[in-house]
Structure 1
Amino acid sequence: MTVTGVSDATERLDLRRRRGRRRRVLLIAIAAAVVVVLGTLAWLVFGSSVLGVKDVEVQGAKLVAAAEVERVADVPAGQPLARVDLDAVATRVAGLPAVARVSVARQWPNTIRITLTERTPAFAIETPGGYWIADDQGIIFDSAAQPPRGVLAARVPSGDARLIRDLGTVLRSLPSEVRGRIRTLSAETPDSITLGLSGGVTVIWGSAEQSELKAQVLSVLMAHQHRVYDVSAPSNPVTR
Structure 2
Amino acid sequence: MAGIEARPRGTGPGGPPPAAGDGGRRGRVRLRITPPSRRTSLIALVLLTVLAGGGTWAVYGSGWFRANRVTVRGEQVLTADQIERAAAVPLGGPLVSVDTGAVRRRLLAALPRIDRVDVSRSWPHTVTVTVTERVPSAVLENGPKFTEVDRDGVRFATVDRAPAGVPLVELAPDAKGAAASLRVFGTSRLLQSAIAVSGDLPDSLKGHATAIRVRSWDGITVELAGGRDVMWGSAEQGAFKASVLAALMKAEPRARHFDVSAPTAPAASGS
Q: Which range, TM-score by smaller chain? A: 0.7 to 0.9
Query: Is 1:230 aligned to 2:256, yes or no?
Result: no
- Structure 2 gaps of 5+ residues are 1-33, 174-186
More off after superposition, 125-134 vs 86-95: 86-95
Give the C-alpha shift of residue 104 in structure 1. 1.1
Query: Is 1:179 aligned to 2:206, yes or no?
Result: yes
Give the RMSD, CA atoms, in angstroms: 2.9
Q: 1:136 aligns with which of 117, 142, 151?
A: 151
Which structure 1 residue ranges, 4+ long, deviate > 6 Å from structure 2? Answer: none
The match for 2:136 is 121
Write the distance in 1 (CA, Å) between the matches of 2:76 and 2:202. 28
Write the distance in 2 (CA, Å) between the matches of 1:165 and 1:46. 51
- Distance verdict in 2 for CA 1:216–1:131, change over 3 Å: same
Query: Is 1:100 aligned to 2:127, yes or no?
Result: no
Q: What letter corresponds to residue 173 of structure 1 in structure 2?
A: D
Give the C-alpha shift of residue 116 in structure 1. 0.9
Alignment of 1:1-240 (within 5 A): 23-46=37-60, 50-95=64-109, 96-156=111-171, 161-222=188-249, 223-224=251-252, 225-240=254-269
Q: State the TM-score, normalized to the length of structure 1.
A: 0.76
- Equivalent residue of 1:185, what SS? strand
Write the distance in 2 (CA, Å) between the matches of 1:132 and 1:180. 17
Give the C-alpha shift of residue 196 in structure 1. 1.2
Write the distance in 1 (CA, Å) between the matches of 2:126 and 2:107. 17
Write the distance in 2 (CA, Å) between the matches of 1:74 and 1:146. 30
Give the C-alpha shift of residue 191 in structure 1. 3.0
Give the C-alpha shift of residue 23 in structure 1. 4.9
Q: What letter corresponds to residue 109 of structure 1 in structure 2?
A: P
Q: What letter corresponds to residue 60 of structure 1 in structure 2?
A: G
- Distance verdict in 2 for CA 1:173–1:69, change over 3 Å: same
Give the C-alpha shift of residue 37 in structure 1. 1.8
- Distance verdict in 2 for CA 1:89–1:190, change over 3 Å: farther
Residue-pair matches, total: 219
- Distance verdict in 2 for CA 1:199–1:50, change over 3 Å: closer
Give the C-alpha shift of residue 98 in structure 1. 0.9
The match for 1:8 is none
- Equivalent residue of 2:66, what SS? coil
Q: Percent identity?
A: 36
More off after superposition, 162-171 vs 204-213: 162-171
- Equivalent residue of 1:63, what SS? coil
| Structure (1 or 2) with the greater helix fraction | 1
Does the CA contact (< 8 Å) of 1:139 and 1:165 recur in 2?
A: no
More off after superposition, 125-134 vs 186-195: 186-195
Does the CA contact (< 8 Å) of 2:70 and 2:126 recur in 1?
A: yes
Structure number, greater radius of gyration: 2
